[in-house]
Structure 1
Amino acid sequence: MKPLYMVLSMLAIGITSSAAMAEGASVPSASLPNVSPANSDLVNRGAYIARAADCMACHREDYTGGTAIETPMGDIYATNITPSKRYGIGNYTEADLKNALQKGRAPNHMLYPAMPYPSYNGMTDEDISALFAYLQTVPAVDEKPEYETKLPFPFNFRFLMLGWNVLNLPANENREGLSATEQRGEYLVNNLAHCGTCHTPRNSTMGVDDSKYLAGAQLGTWHAPNITSDESSGIGSWSEQDIVTYLRTGELDQRVFAGGPMGEVVAHSTRFLEDEDLGAIASYLKAVPAIQTDDKVNVADVSSLKRPINESITHDLIAQKDYLAQAKANVDSSSPEGLYLAACGSCHGVDGYGQPDARYAPIVGLSSIRRDNPASLINVILHGVDGATNTSPIMPGFSDELDSAQIADISNYVRVNFGGLANSNVSAADVDSVISPQDQRPFLIKYAGILATLGIIAVLLIIGLIIWNMVRKKRTH
């Protein structure tokens, strides 16, 4: 089930889509695992709910958990949710699962909101019943988890989540005036698929800031982009079919590729969803009020973009290899162009048009490299990208091979030559800020240990003063 700070969604790099995708044709959903004619309709429905809720992103495909979810309070490890009676949820009743999903309450302790119960709080009883029935059929794994959640003081006291819930559990008020399709999309976006968990910023208590609903949020070194209908910083220029295609395949021709946390969402969840549900999500997102943020996508100067040397070279790997060798021989290897050719050219091509037959991404004109904030591009160069499916190529990261100045040079070269920007001024300091981001935790979270200690001392002093005063009065009488 999707984490609080992991998550999520990067418009990182683009790859060539099929002709059908380019024409806006429907892309079939992937075959849904764990659905069998031998199972009841309720169980099979639960398997679908598990995919829609993206349980596997944290609890893994076998539901044994163990995934580390990075939060400002520390790493929280997803637990075993197989029917193991010793290590999993084999002793859960349906009411127990409902309490965990909607209230963040396990039978013996409170849950941390890394398990997104603030979103699941709005799940319907019917979906919870189906999910419960399905989880009973998952093979039980009776193995002790390799890691356990051990947060620092005072977050190690789980009962504090009671107060957090009072402040941050939503009232689940639905918008008025939505069509039936948009209402279904609202349920998926807000509750089951919990898109806002990653794409909505957090307030000082780490609850969602509803005033910036779906306007983008920082997730560690990654940034979940604005997915409101704003034209310049959001996805207002996307059609509903664009959104469906992206969620189904992780690709959108000549524009974006789902990498990082969003790649995981596509891989584990959205590619399995029914056309009607993806269409409902798209319909609702187009109806979400636009919020403009500072991270705008600049308009590309198309006339300045590189052109392939000929029409066939991207499909002719031998010619492309020779072309790359010639290009390297004609430039200084330490120059921005030389660095790009050495690190990136063999996959993305000398002219940035990639290798479609091998599914290596073209990067010409991509929105992610035209953003005001270059952090996403820097992140991709540093850490690489896993594809949205197990057949997608994996882009390696270069954090161990290139220094910050070299990564800045490549970023500037890509943004100008393939993004169509007039200029780019990414510096080594910008790269360093992505490698080691500033501590942006809210004051209450950052100094929670100190504040809690001072609070305990204050309470003890007050109790001591009360006792001393009582003793003093008793002596005077």
Structure 2
Amino acid sequence: MKPFSILLSVIAFSMASSTVIADGAIPPNVSLPNVSPANSDLANRGAYIARTADCMACHREDYSGGVPIETPIGNIYSTNITPSQRYGIGNYTEADFKKVLKKGRAPNHQLYPAMPYPSYHGMVDADISALFAYFQTVPPVEAAPEKTTKLPFPLSIRSLMLAWNVINVPATENRLGLTQTQQRGEYLVNNLEHCGTCHTPRNITQGLDKDMYLSGAPLGKWYAPNITPDNDSGIGRWSEQDIVTYLRTGMLDKRAYAGGPMAEAVAHSTRYLTDKDLSAMAAYLKVVPIIKTDDYLIPVNVARLPSPVSRSITYDLLEQKDYLAQAKANTTTNNGTVDSNSSKALYLANCASCHGVDGYAQPDARYASIVGLSSIRRAKPDALINVIAYGAKGALNTAPKMPGFSKELSPVQIASITNYVRVNFGGLTSSDVSATEVKRILK
């Protein structure tokens, strides 16, 4: 993306955004915290903005804070942002609140950019006012988070962030030539939803590498994939409706399933957005500059994907239980123990009770189907290996959390399961992930 700063386009963008923002009603049949006839329209609109800004992912649903945010310089813990005067932001004026969002500056100290103010820098004043009004209606939590940020010297000198801000704020700049819908999508993707915070590689100062915007980046034990419209390594083959469906549900049949930080984004934020806003995000993501990376996606070979064992087994727990018992029996050795060297035996023993003997799992019980998922069809197996090792949480609270197996399985066994899954459920012709590669990835 080529940066620019033309005053006329900024003014036009702000006017268009304000119009669309004011038009963004809360989706029907969706319960948002503190949306009440007793609150003002401004505060209730602020509740929706809190969802689009994904405040809850870091500050919890009650905004009490204390969530660890992994960064290359150590864990940074989120703060209490309820209107508690002693522990939260109850003493903030709206001007203070605006400085926090746009400059990362609290009344008494500078914030670390784990708080995505480089992206929030682009928030329009009308949204900030609504968000501030909303936070006045939040029940105060009269307690400090159990843990606070303690970084080693000299990183503990928060004023150093002032120099960092000169280089890295704002994180993005607006583009010319976008339709009004794409402008709204740009505002949501780049500013409120701050998608680039996870999906963009970092430069030498740990700011966003604007030349590689949204092209994918490592994220602790996760990897946020390329979401530019490149056909091979990004989401170029997704339709706008595919993007909307994924952001609404966290799932796309035989292609994608949100886990980890993306599951949190869906659970706390995108599933609450209006269809109009999700469509705007999709429209914008289809026109961001294409960036091709070496972590390309192997296209789905439908002919190689497994067929369900039967029409009923995916939903019939007893049938699945009986079939799994028989399948395990067929992989035992002569002395009655499971063959630990068999890829299939390892999958059946550790994975099949949730994901099913055929990979289609049990949708009614919210266990995820893994057939055809993009995470098992990438050239690099990092995402799949990390999920096997560290587990994953789904986008909905009703979905079971997948446990990690890093302590139960050796690198050899994790590699074996990885290869089995990629070939049998990803449709790959072959997979040769080694124990050495597993060790490298887990480090």
* TM-score, length-scaled by structure 1: 0.84
Q: CA deviation at 1:425?
A: 1.2
Q: The residue matched to 1:324 in structure 2 has which SS?
A: helix
- Give the counterpart letter for 1:143 in structure 2: A
Q: Does 1:380 align with 2:378?
A: no
Aligned-pair distance for 1:411? 0.4
Alignment partners' CA distance in 2, 1:389 and 1:351: 23
Q: Does 1:397 align with 2:397?
A: no
Write the deviation string for residues 46-90 of structure 1: whole angstroms up to 9, x where unpaired: 111111101111111111110111111111111111111111111
SS at match of 1:74: coil
Q: 2:425 corresponds to which residue?
A: 418
CA distance in 2, matches of 1:144, 1:317: 45
C-alpha separation between the residues in 2 aligned to 1:342 and 1:28? 43
C-alpha distance in 2 between matches for 1:258 and 1:385: 9
Match of 2:252 in 1: 252
Q: Does 2:169 correspond to 1:162?
A: no
Is 1:42 the counterpart of 2:36? The answer is no
Q: For the Cα contact (< 8 Å) 1:29–1:275, is it kept in 2?
A: no
Tell me which residue corresponds to 2:331.
331
Separation (CA, whole Å) in 1 of partners of 2:387 and 2:46 = 35
Query: Does residue 60 of structure 2 align to residue 60 of structure 1?
Result: yes
C-alpha deviation, 1:356, in angstroms: 2.4
Which residue pairs with 1:133 in the alignment?
Answer: 133
What amino acid is aligned across from residue 249 of structure 1 in structure 2? T
SS in structure 2 of the partner of residue 223 of structure 1? strand
Residue 168 to residue 325, structure 1, CA distance change in 2 (3 Å): same
Which amino acid in structure 2 is aligned with residue 267 of structure 1?
Answer: A
- Partner of 1:313: helix, strand, or coil? coil
Matched residues in 2 for 1:174 and 1:306: separation?
45
Task: List aligned pairs for 1:237-386, cutoff 5 A.
Answer: 237-332=237-332, 333=338, 334=340, 335-386=342-393
Which amino acid counterpart does residue 176 of structure 1 have in structure 2? Answer: L
Q: In 2, Cα distance between the equivalents of 1:79 and 1:257?
A: 30
1:409 matched residue in structure 2: 416
Q: Which residue of 1 aligns with 2:174?
A: 174
Instruction: Render the CA deviation track for 1:431-469: whole Å, top value 9, x for unaligned.
Output: 222322xxxxxxxxxxxxxxxxxxxxxxxxxxxxxxxxx
- Asked whether the 8 Å contact 1:301–1:422 carries over to 2, the reply is no
- Measured in 1, the distance between the counterparts of 2:28 and 2:359 equals 29
Contact 1:214 1:228 (C-alpha < 8 Å) held by counterparts: yes
Render the CA deviation track for 1:8-32: whole Å, top value 9, x for unaligned: xxxxxxxxxxxxxxxxxxx977422
What is the CA–CA distance in structure 1 between the aligned matches of 2:403 and 2:182, rounded to whole Å? Answer: 39
Cα distance 1:389–1:30, how it changes in 2: closer, same or farther (>3 A)?
farther
Q: State how far apart, in whole Å, the 2-side matches of 1:169 and 1:315 are.
A: 51
In the alignment, the residues of structure 2 paired with residue 387 and residue 214 of structure 1 have an alpha-carbon distance, to the nearest angstrom, of 22
Q: Distance in 1 between matches of 2:273 and 2:176?
A: 26
User: What is the aligned partner in structure 2 of residue 189 from structure 1?
Assistant: 189
Q: Output the CA distance in 1 between the equivalents of 2:171 and 2:317.
A: 57
Distance in 2 of aligned mates of 1:241 and 1:28: 19
Aligned equivalent of 1:236: 236
Displacement over 4 Å in runs of 4+: none
Contact 2:171 2:208 in 1 (8 A): no
Q: Provide the rounded CA distance (Å) in 2 between the counterparts of 1:308 and 1:144.
A: 51
Q: Whole-Å Cα distance in 2 between the matches of residues 140 and 316 of structure 1?
A: 46
Letter of the aligned partner of 1:71 in structure 2? T
Shift of 1:400: 2.3
| Cα distance in structure 2, aligned partners of 1:367 and 1:144 | 41
Query: Residue 309 and residue 340 in structure 1: after superposition, are their counterparts in 2 closer, same or farther (change >3 A)?
Result: same
Structure 1 residue aligned with 2:12: none
Deviates more, 1:387-396 or 1:65-74: 387-396
* Alpha-carbon distance in structure 2 between the residues aligned to 1:395 and 1:229: 30
Describe how 1:212-227 pairs up with structure 2 within 5 A: 212-227=212-227
The answer (yes or no) to whether the contact 2:365–2:399 under 8 Å persists in 1 is no
Aligned residue pair count? 410
Q: Give 2:73's aligned amino acid.
A: M
| 3-state secondary structure, aligned to 2:223 | strand
Residue 47 of structure 2 aligns to which amino acid in structure 1? A
Q: Could you tell me whether the CA contact under 8 Å between 1:29 and 1:274 is conserved in 2? A: no
Correspondence 1:74 to 2:74: yes
Amino acid in structure 2 at the alignment position of 1:140? P
Amino acid at match of 2:189: V
The higher radius of gyration belongs to 1
3-state SS, counterpart of residue 69 of structure 2:
strand
Alpha-carbon distance, 1:131 to partner: 0.6
Q: In structure 2, the residue corresponding to 1:380 is in which secondary structure?
A: helix
Residues in 1 aligned to 2:51 and 2:302: alpha-carbon distance in whole angstroms: 40
Which protein has greater RCO, CA pairs closer than 8 Å, 6+ apart? 1
Q: Is the 8 Å Cα contact of residues 232 and 297 (structure 1) preserved in structure 2?
A: yes
The residue type equivalent to 1:257 in the other structure is Y
CA contact (8 A) 1:77 1:147 kept: yes
State the shift of 1:387 in Å.
1.4
CA–CA distance in structure 1, aligned partners of residues 35 and 212 of structure 2: 38
Cα offsets for 1:116-151 (capped at 9, x unmatched): 100000000000001111111111122132111111
Separation of aligned partners in 2, 1:86 and 1:414: 52
CA contact (8 A) 2:248 2:270 kept: yes
SS of the aligned residue for 1:71 comes to: coil
Any gaps of 5 or more consecutive residues in structure 1?
Answer: 1-26, 437-477
One-letter code aligned to 1:32? L
For 2:266, the aligned partner's letter is V
Deviations 1:390-444 (A, max 9, x none): 11122222122211111110000000111111111111122222322xxxxxxxx
Q: 1:29 to 1:405 in 2, by over 3 A?
A: farther
Shift of 1:186: 0.3
C-alpha contact 1:29 1:272 (8 A) present in aligned 2: no
Q: Are the counterparts in 2 of residues 29 and 273 from structure 1 also a CA contact under 8 Å?
A: no
Q: 1: CA distance between counterparts of 2:344 and 2:272?
A: 40
1:165-219 C-alpha deviation (Å, 9 max, x unpaired): 1111128531111110000000011111111111111000011101001000111
Q: Identify the range of structure 1 (177-186 vs 348-357) with the bigger mean alpha-carbon deviation.
A: 348-357
Structure 1 range deviating more: 334-343 or 418-427: 418-427
Cα gap change, 1:341 to 1:388, in 2 (>3 Å)? same
Query: CA 1:400–1:30 in structure 2 vs 1: closer, same or farther (change >3 Å)?
Result: farther
Ranges in structure 2 where 5+ consecutive residues have no aligned partner: 1-26, 333-337
